[in-house]
Chains A and B, each alone.
Chain A
């Protein structure tokens, strides 16, 4: 066990999997000579060489399309999209190919493919580079969508993703790379499709994931000062969604706040709250609240951007409203 950053945890997972399995290789923009635009693959090119750490042209459809083809032949590509905003240029291949081929050809085609990408706002990158469209990807059966909130989960989930035979969107958060946490050494695997309780409490259930886990934990610490104990369920995987720990927690607290960085309309919170109402209606003591990004394209100006993004205070306020 060592205290390392999210960046190091992800890097470690990639490195260990490449050492373990020669079929694993990395491809994407600036993953090689540059060392990754978020420095995750620094040193990989020199160690593993240009065949296994492949710099690509700026051509997202070609990156994802060719990664799909290579995966179909039995290799295990980890294709990197520099940001999730650029995934829209590869949307056809993610949605119409990666998510469909296994089913459409009745299991003939197997796609051990990981699409590593980075989402989230808060870095003054403007509307086109700051989105959190995780729910969009979670909409499609055939695709798995993973979004870790801690360094340990990042390592364990990425290793699980690389070993999986299904196509997986692995969504990292741009402002979590420097976050530190205890990460088990060596072969540490976190199963895909398992939510987990990150903090126990009896008064309210906060359902969240990725960057918003960090804010939710801060909010819970503040609330504890007022004697309010929040239980935090971290989804970790959006599809397949593991709703059980959410329902279990809700049946105990009877109150829920769902915190996501994306927009409220048709979002993760909409899905979670619907499932709570469907599965635990008799346990509802207060309307479920959602804390989300405001419904605007994210602006560049620092203050305006922060006004649009969910804040710790918003979570505290929402919790107090449901109590």
Chain B
């Protein structure tokens, strides 16, 4: 991997971190409405995973989607503008935090009903198979989604039809405030894939290089015709489920323990230890990331609200109410 690519990935992680921190502030100022689910702590998961995809590979995820959007190449500007509901947002202010997407960048959302996007992911892959494209669909979801029926219907269908899907469970240890052990019959989530005779593996989600390496291997196997595979990525969200989370279900000590494994810190140490980048260079990337996010905040705040006539646009492609 080239140095520039490392620095790019590092910068993406820092942009996500700062963007999320700034979003939390904007939320507290009442500038972001609805729900806000932060990705802080999980940056290495999607950054490593999506760095392993080729342009033809589709990405689809759940509602904790800001980081995934950045990794798919959406600008911080259009992400933040969408969070603020502005006309310049990637969905013109109609989607909000949980519904980011840019199909031109092969990022298919941003889906807020837990587990519902898994059958859709199977369909994206079906579309590729039908049209004889060699794309792999990367479908990300939380541990909580593996307890709903859609998960099982989608995994089964993908295996029966040999669809090119990489199922990625981001196990951040909690479905909202309920631990995996309290909600799932098996706490090692990947074992559920055994029920569909599906190749599966797990990886440490705090270490971007491990995530990337595993994802590269699995995506290329799927592209070569292995059929769907399942990857469990163990991670931890440093913040609450959403901004309204009282966090009664976990101790500060547990959070602190995980924070010692900060994915950005781990990557920093790796880059310096391997002499890929100096501390100064990484500080420079931090500075650039801050500038990118501050520019995005300014852009979003100064962007116009959607025009009133947008209300009735895009209900249908063709005429009709």
Contact = CB atoms under 8 A, between A and B. Distances in A.
Q: Do A and B come from one complex?
A: yes
B320 A240 contact: yes
Given A62-B119, A65-B118, A105 B95 contact: yes
Nearest to B110: A105
B108 A72 contact: yes
A170 to B, nearest CB: 15
B91 interface: yes
A166 B91 contact: no
A141 interface: yes
A148 interface: no
Interface string B284-321: 00000000000000000000000000000111111111
B123 interface: yes
| Interface magnitude class on chain A | 35 or more
Interface string A78-95: 000000000000001100
B185 interface: no
A61 B149 CA distance: 9
Nearest to B87: A106
B175 interface: no
Interface in A65-119: 65-75, 92-93, 96-97, 101-110
A56 to B, nearest CB: 7
Nearest to A56: B157
B127 A62 contact: no
Given A59-B153, A105-B101, A106-B92, A70 B320 contact: no
B121 interface: yes
Contacts of B15: none
Contacts of A93: 116, 119-120
The interface centre, meaning the residue of B91, B118, B127 with most chain A CB atoms within 10 A of its CB, is: B127
Interface residues of B, number: 45
Contacts of B320: 144, 166, 192-193, 239-240
B14 to A, nearest CB: 27
B27 interface: no
Given A110-B317, A193-B319, A239-B320, A62 B157 contact: yes
B160 interface: yes
B319 A66 contact: no
Contacts of A73: 123-124, 127-128, 130-131
Nearest to B129: A51
Contacts of B125: 69
A69 B316 contact: no
A235 to B, nearest CB: 14
Nearest to A110: B317
A311 interface: no
A66 B160 CA distance: 13
A124 interface: no
B113 A92 contact: yes
Nearest to A59: B153
Contacts of A67: 123
B123 A70 contact: yes
A23 B319 CA distance: 23
Nearest to B120: A69
Contact of B91 (A23, A71, A108): A108
B109 to A, nearest CB: 7
Contact of A66 (B95, B119, B314): B119
A66 B128 contact: no
Contacts of A196: none
Contacts of B101: 105, 108-109
Contact of A102 (B99, B121, B314): B314
Interface in B90-144: 91-92, 94-95, 99, 101-103, 108-111, 113, 116-128, 130-131
A100 to B, nearest CB: 9
B66 to A, nearest CB: 15
B71 interface: no
21 contacts: A61-B116, A62-B153, A65-B122, A65-B123, A66-B120, A68-B120, A73-B123, A92-B150, A102-B314, A102-B317, A105-B101, A106-B92, A106-B94, A106-B313, A108-B91, A141-B315, A144-B320, A193-B319, A193-B320, A239-B320, A240-B321
Task: Return the 9 tightest CB-CB contacts between A and B, nearest first.
Answer: A69-B123, A65-B119, A73-B127, A240-B320, A66-B123, A62-B153, A165-B317, A106-B92, A107-B314
Interface of B: 91-92, 94-95, 99, 101-103, 108-111, 113, 116-128, 130-131, 149-150, 153-154, 156-157, 160-161, 313-321
Interface of A: 23, 25, 51, 54, 56-57, 59, 61-62, 64-75, 92-93, 96-97, 101-110, 141-142, 144, 164-166, 192-193, 239-240
